Amino acid sequence: MKGSLLLAVTLSLCAILPAAMLADSSSRDQAQIDRGRYLIMMSGCNDCHSSGYMPSEGTLPESQWLMGDTLGWHGPWGTTYPINLRLFASQMDEDEWVSVVTTAKPRPPMPWWALHEMEEQDVRAIYAFIRSLPVEGTEAPAALEPGVTPKTAYFQLVEPQEE
């Protein structure tokens, strides 16, 4: 009798413990995702990487975030397009993401120095958030060499004329 009670208690503990551990790790994951969302908003990634975010004054729904933009940035570096971060992040695991974004020096106007300075746990939180979004959208247009006029809409850096 005692033995079977002990067995029952042990068995039910076995059933409860993994569930509790899972709940704990999934709330940790959710906290990580929420932190990533916050960092994306605060560090301006949406301003360039989410088409329509700036004109919407930050009200673009999250379902449309981080899929890149066809609005080019034109200057002495050529023309660059903010990439689709959902596709980009889906092509690598978290450790690769950390090593790429903390060392890469993409062309202007990408503020790569902010990612180089960011705490590693925050770089990981950004990855967690991006990977929580469905892998959607198309690749941004390929960057153009200096001197090539873009066929898309673009911002242009105009140097002052020599007097």
> What pairs with residue 75 in β-bridges?
78
Task: Please choose, from the candidates 54, 46, 71, the residue with its C-alpha nearest in 3D space to the C-alpha of residue 152.
Answer: 71
CB of 131 to ligand HEC, least distance (A): 13
Q: In the window 87-126, what residues touch ligand HEC (CB under 6 A)?
A: 88, 100-101, 104, 106-107, 109-111, 114-115, 126
Cα separation of 40 and 60, whole Å?
A: 13
65, 73, 127, 129: residue in contact with ligand HEC (rule CB under 6 A): 73
CB of 77 to ligand HEC, least distance (A): 8
What are the residues binding ligand HEC (CB under 6 A)?
A: 43-45, 47-49, 73, 80-83, 85, 88, 100-101, 104, 106-107, 109-111, 114-115, 126, 143
